[in-house]
Copies of this chain bind each other. A is one copy, B any other.
């Protein structure tokens, strides 16, 4: 690992869980990943996954993770409770809740599995993107803290902050390089968080910030722990797009590719919007 990478990365601090009895962990929100009104959803997803990753009886690697954002998470302490719904020979099913003083703020489920080599085939094509070095990083100074924890280098669909008319929506697709900042060796915790780094498509399409918030996020992991570890801290290629904005909700999908063209994760989310 690059010697410039700190021993204790902000993401590891933000996703630190303290065991607090059978199926119970406590943690604290991190100012380093603060979003507008609460913690960045990616860190919440990473925390829910980490509760299962940290469970002593955990089997294999995560395959699927769904997180439902029930209420804003307040700054401070929270408790994650985790239930092993079922363990089979090669799969394991978990459900989680994240609670604070005023009730449940998030629920989640995860499927873990022992992965092994099988016939493989990748019908999806890795998008063509200019080299990382040739693109400028998004300027994040003065923006929400979480944005400063990622290096985003857009080839297409950068946020312009130029408001568009209702009748003239901008393109919803982005193509970019994305990496933890500071760099961090890839694992499931960081990949779960990276899957939520694609700026709300609504902001892009409307050219301005409007009230919006993710209500549900599902991420599929398409590689085992060894494949992720082999990535080290190299930037990933990201693609994000939306299908439809209607009646207060829109969907958003994302792909995360290795520089070598291996699809590591795909993700979908549904997002509330007000106007």
> Could you tell me which A residues sit within 8 Å of B by CB distance?
63-64, 66, 68, 70-71, 85-86, 88, 91, 93, 95, 97, 103-105, 107, 109, 111, 113, 115-124, 166, 169, 171-173, 205-206, 215-216, 218, 220, 222-224, 241-249, 251, 255, 263, 266, 268, 270, 272-275
Residues of B contacting A118 in the complex (Cβ-Cβ under 8 angstroms): 245-248, 273-275
Select which of B105, B205, B218, B270 is within 8 A of A121 by beta carbon: B205
Select which of B88, B121, B243 is within 8 A of A122 by beta carbon: B243
Residues of B contacting A242 in the complex (Cβ-Cβ under 8 angstroms): 123-124
Are B243 and A64 in contact, CB atoms less than 8 angstroms apart?
no
* Bound Cα distance from A141 to B119, whole angstroms: 31
Are B251 and A266 in contact, CB atoms less than 8 angstroms apart?
yes
Min distance, Cβ A203 to any Cβ of chain B, angstroms: 13
Contacts A117-B247, A118-B273, A243-B255 given; does A85 touch B70 at CB 8 Å: yes
Are B124 and A244 in contact, CB atoms less than 8 angstroms apart?
yes
Min distance, Cβ A148 to any Cβ of chain B, angstroms: 29
Are A223 and B243 in contact, CB atoms less than 8 angstroms apart?
no
Contacts A124-B244, A247-B115 given; does A64 touch B71 at CB 8 Å: no
Are A124 and B86 in contact, CB atoms less than 8 angstroms apart?
no
Are B123 and A205 in contact, CB atoms less than 8 angstroms apart?
yes
* Bound Cα distance from A88 to B249, whole angstroms: 16
Kindly name the residue among A85, A116, A241 whose own CB sees the greatest number of chain B CB atoms within 10 A: A85
Select which of B95, B243, B274 is within 8 A of A123 by beta carbon: B243
Chain B residue nearest in CB terms to A224: B247
Min distance, Cβ A119 to any Cβ of chain B, angstroms: 6
Contacts A247-B117, A263-B243 given; does A268 touch B220 at CB 8 Å: yes
Residues of B contacting A171 in the complex (Cβ-Cβ under 8 angstroms): 123
Residues of B contacting A117 in the complex (Cβ-Cβ under 8 angstroms): 247
Min distance, Cβ A229 to any Cβ of chain B, angstroms: 14
The 6 closest A-B pairs by CB, nearest first: A124-B243, A70-B86, A64-B216, A115-B247, A66-B66, A218-B218
Are A107 and B122 in contact, CB atoms less than 8 angstroms apart?
no
